Amino acid sequence: MMFSIITITRNDLSGLQATHTSIQSQTCTDYEWIVIDGASNDGTEQWLKTRAPDAISEPDHGLYDAMNKGLARATGDYIIFMNGGDQFADDNVLSNLSQLISMASTPPGFIYGDALETRSDGQMAYKAARPFIKVDLGMFTHHQAMVYARTVIGDMRYDTRYKIAADYKLTLQTLGATRAIYYVPVPFCIFAHGGLSQTRTALGRREQFDIRRELGVVGPIRNRVIKTLQMINMGVRRICPPLYWALKARRDKAAIRR
């Protein structure tokens, strides 16, 4: 059982080094680390030459173009995206996943878990995943807490027309391609604060709206309601972070008890 860990980075050497340390600390060593660097000029390319044999450093056409390059190079049974600055939640994440996969009566096509997120104030927040059946509401956990079977992904790739939410579309397509979906109620990753999904939230919500319409996930009225609720949620997070995190913690406690 081998994992393909795909890391996308650009001009974030310190974040990449933190990700590298986290990967090297895994007790399971049956993985390949694929790094797609977008032609960084901060020393990343030179550092990678001695740390990651399966790495390329070249211009790309954005985040999802780079992620597609990573998918094309992947040879593992299961794929995890752990981008520069992101880390595994603990040293046994891959070992625990490997054990789950080996014991499953049906080979998992998709596995997801909870996440830890570094907040803007430096505190660590626990983010419990929603049930995957609520995917119409948006991403139900962080992309770094999702594990995709390579056989299920097959020839599917990220739709580069979308700049923020192509991972949402690929996840919807993956869920539609397998019934062997497993949830593990523990954190898989530590998500680095400040990614595109957080800095360009309005665009991300618009793209999710378009993706739901494109794939026919929900009807037009429900689609507009979901978008409105998402915008309200993000408005609360921006205007009153303490209230947002208090409500989030309450929801997460309820999710953990389910």
State the pairing for strand pair 78-81/3-9.
parallel
Comparing CA positions, the residue from 52, 41, 33, 36 lying closest to residue 13 is: 41
pLDDT of 7 higher than 70: yes
CA dist., res. 203 & res. 4, Å (int): 29
CB count in 10 Å sphere of residue 203 = 15
pLDDT, the chain, mean: 90
Predicted pLDDT at 122: 72
Average pLDDT over residues 17-23: 96
What is residue 107's three-state secondary structure?
coil
pLDDT of 74 higher than 50: yes
To 10 degrees, what angle do helices 63-73 and 166-177 make? 40
**pLDDT tens-digit map of 27-72:** 999 999 999 999 999 999 999 998 888 899 999 999 999 999 999 9
DSSP state of 129: P
CA dist., res. 52 & res. 55, Å (int): 6
**pLDDT tens-digit map of 195-250:** 555 557 789 899 999 999 999 999 999 999 998 888 877 777 677 766 666 666 66
pTM for the full predicted model: 0.89
Comparing CA positions, the residue from 120, 98, 92, 103 lying closest to residue 187 is: 92
**pLDDT tens-digit map of 130-146:** 999 999 999 999 999 99
* Structural domains in the chain plus CATH codes: 3-195 (3.90.550.10)
